[in-house]
Amino acid sequence: MNSEPQSQFKKWEDLDITDDFIFSRVMRNKRLCRTLLEMILKVKIGKIKFLTSHHAIRVEPNAKGIIMDVYLKDENRVINVEMQTSSQGDLARRARYYQAAADIDNTPKGSEYKDLKQNYVVFICTFDPFHQGKPIYNFQNYCIAYEVPIPLEDDTEKIFLNTAAKDTTSLDGELRLFYDYIKGKVAQTDFTKELDATISQMKQEKEARNMYLTYTTRMMEFRRDGYEEGISIGLQQGREQGAYEKALKTAKMFLSYGDSPEKVAICTQLPLDVVQELVQKQ
């Protein structure tokens, strides 16, 4: 997600795949998500489990929290995918923090280091994050003390897609045409056509539109306070029962679209424990 809160949001009709709200929901389609991941990572993705309840992560109470766009795991790896449309010059360090947080989040007490899964962080950027003109940047850890670098083999990788690249001939055809779609060109592959159709269908749904309006209204009300997109500053005093019931209904709608309890609490101003009770009742 973009690390700075937006003062203005796009109109519902103008949203596309590069918007967090759309991207995170489209990627809830496991087939589309798997296809995109396999194009980027060049590995076979197993059974996907979305880590919805951990979508918002705070490693410990006093640590900086994060909210992830797409956060999932399969049998062998944990993966975080972010759509990034602006640069504040901190992507490398953000990737480092996201990777560490995901490791801790997926390593229960009593685990051994050998139990750590492969850990991927992917930023899909609509700009060139490293100003080298390359369409994709893959980073792993190596010892640089020798002529031939020695891989650390810690099973981590940070990947940055530069969808603004002018020369994408080094990419596979499917991925290259995905870049074109990100740039606003007409969908040409089965994958991008399905993406486009899914987005079009979503934008016809009244509930999804209402969710977006609620989301933008709430997010503009919150100031930054620990999480990258802001943490709720508390439930407003003196709420009346009708407003509370409406907030509960909105929360249920957000949860049905796969949002985390933490994020739903932000958008509805409901206490987190109330939202978590709703999750248990689903």
- Could you read off the pLDDT of 97-118 as tens digits, one per residue? 999 999 998 988 899 999 999 9
- Residue 232, pLDDT > 60, answer no
Residues in contact with 209: Cβ distance below 8 Å, sequence separation at least 6, in sequence order: 12, 203
Residues in contact with 50: Cβ distance below 8 Å, sequence separation at least 6, in sequence order: 28, 70, 71, 72, 258
Give the separation between CA 265 and CA 276, rounded to whole angstroms: 9
Residue 66 confidence (pLDDT): 65
Which pTM was predicted?
A: 0.76
Region 172-191 average pLDDT: 96
Name the residue among 128, 109, 105 with its Cα closest to residue 117.
Answer: 105
Element (DSSP H or E) covering residue 173:
helix 173-182
CB atoms within 10 A of CB 113: 8
- Residue 259, pLDDT > 60, answer yes
Residues in contact with 161: Cβ distance below 8 Å, sequence separation at least 6, in sequence order: 40, 122, 123, 124, 125, 135, 136, 179
Region 150-176 average pLDDT: 97
Residue 58 confidence (pLDDT): 55
Q: Are 255 and 282 in contact (CB under 8 A)?
A: yes
HSE (CB half, 13 Å, CA atoms) of 33?
25
Report which residue type is found at 161: L
Residue 6 confidence (pLDDT): 44
- Residue 93, pLDDT > 80, answer yes
> Which stretch of 59-68, 78-87, 227-236 has the lowest confidence by average pLDDT?
227-236
Q: Cα-flanking dihedrals φ and ψ of residue 84, to 5°? A: -125, 115
Give the separation between CA 54 and CA 56, rounded to whole angstroms: 5
Q: Which residues pair with 157 in a beta bridge?
A: 120
State what percent of residues in the chain have pLDDT above 70: 80
Segment 136-140 long-range contacts (CB within 8 Å, at least 24 positions apart): 136/160, 136/161, 136/162, 136/171, 137/162
The mean of the pLDDT values for the chain is 83
- Residue 55, pLDDT > 70, answer no
> Which stretch of 40-44, 111-115, 124-128, 256-260 has the lowest confidence by average pLDDT?
256-260
- Residue 217, pLDDT > 70, answer yes
- 222 or 184: which leads in pLDDT: 184
Residue 8 confidence (pLDDT): 62
> Which stretch of 26-30, 198-202, 203-207, 263-267 has the lowest confidence by average pLDDT?
263-267
Structure tokens that stand for 195 in this block: 């993406």
